[in-house]
C-alpha cells in the first residue's frame, strides 16, 4: 500500500510530465518494485543487502525524470535530484530518506563497473536497472517499423534497412544487458528482449521470403 507522501508525489509527477511521460515513469516504478521484491529474497547475492528503503526507491523512481519537461534530458539526473530534494523537503520527508532519493536519482544514468557497484547505494543501482528495462519497451517502435515495411513494400523502407536496424538493436541490447547491476534485472531483460526479438525476426523473415 502506498503512503500518503508517495501518492502526493505520484500525482505531482503525473501533472508535471503529462500522460505519456507519466506512463513511462509508471513502468519504471513497477520495475523498481519487482526488482526490490526479488532482491529482498536473494540475501546471498553479492553486494546486495536484504534491506532496501523501498519508499525512497519508489519516490526516486517517480521523480527521476521530473526536470525533463522544463530542462530537457541533458544532465537531467542532476536537475531532477535537486527538484526532488525541494519537493520532498516541502512534504517534510525525513532528511535521511531525502538523501537516499537524491543519491538514487544522481546514480540512475551511470553505468557502473563491477568494482563501483558496492560503493553505490542499492536504491540507485535498482533505479538504473529499472530505467534501462523501461527503455526496452521502445523496441516496439522497431516492431512497428518492420510491420510497416511488410504492409507497404514499395515505400522507402527496404529490407536491407530493416536488417540493419535489427542488428543495431541487438548490439544495443548487449551493451544494456552488460551494464545492468542486478541478476533479476538481467533475467527480466532476457525475457523482455527475447520476446521482442523473436517477433521481429519472424516478421522480418516473412517479408523477405
Q: How many domains does the chain have?
A: 1
Predicted TM-score (pTM) of this structure = 0.78
Mind listing the pLDDT tens digit for each residue in 104-124? Answer: 999 999 899 888 888 899 999
Could you report the per-residue pLDDT of 168-205, keeping only the tens digit for each? Answer: 667 777 888 889 999 899 998 888 776 555 454 544 44
For residue 42, give its domain range. 1-209
The helix (H) or strand (E) run that includes residue 196 is helix 183-208
The whole-number pLDDT of residue 161 equals 65
Per-residue pLDDT tens digits for 118-167: 889 999 999 999 999 887 755 545 555 555 556 656 666 566 766 766 67
Tell me the CA distances in angstroms from 187 to 44, 113, 195, one per residue in order.
17, 19, 13
Q: Where are the beta strands (DSSP E) in the chain?
A: none
With a CB cutoff of 8 Å and minimum separation 6, the contacts of 192 are: 133, 136, 137
Percent share of the chain, pLDDT over 70:
73
CA distances 140 to 116, 163, 192, Å, are: 32, 16, 11
Q: Are 149 and 155 in contact (CB under 8 A)?
A: yes
Q: For residue 63, what is the domain's CATH number?
A: 1.10.3210.10
Amino acid at each position: 500500500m502506498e503512503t500518503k507522501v508517495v501518492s502526493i508525489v505520484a500525482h505531482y509527477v503525473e501533472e508535471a510530465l503529462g500522460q505519456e511521460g507519466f506512463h513511462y515513469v509508471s513502468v519504471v516504478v513497477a520495475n523498481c518494485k519487482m526488482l526490490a521484491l526479488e532482491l529482498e529474497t536473494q540475501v546471498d547475492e553479492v553486494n546486495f543487502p536484504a534491506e532496501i528503503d523501498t519508499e525512497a526507491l519508489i519516490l526516486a523512481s517517480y521523480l527521476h525524470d521530473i526536470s525533463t519537461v522544463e530542462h530537457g534530458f541533458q544532465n537531467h539526473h542532476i536537475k531532477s535530484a535537486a527538484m526532488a530534494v525541494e519537493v520532498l523537503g516541502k512534504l517534510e520527508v525525513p532528511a535521511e530518506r531525502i538523501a537516499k532519493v537524491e543519491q538514487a536519482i544522481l546514480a540512475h544514468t551511470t553505468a557502473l563497473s563491477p568494482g563501483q557497484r558496492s560503493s553505490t547505494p542499492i536504491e540507485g543501482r535498482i533505479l538504473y536497472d529499472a530505467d534501462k528495462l523501461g527503455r526496452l519497451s521502445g523496441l516496439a517502435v522497431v516492431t512497428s517499423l518492420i510491420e510497416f515495411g511488410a504492409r507497404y513494400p514499395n515505400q522507402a523502407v527496404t529490407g536491407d534497412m530493416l536488417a540493419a536496424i535489427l542488428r543495431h538493436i541487438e548490439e544495443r541490447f548487449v551493451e544494456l544487458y552488460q551494464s545492468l547491476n542486478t541478476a533479476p534485472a538481467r533475467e527480466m531483460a532476457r525475457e523482455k528482449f527475447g520476446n521482442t526479438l523473436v517477433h521481429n525476426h519472424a516478421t522480418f523473415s516473412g517479408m523477405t521470403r
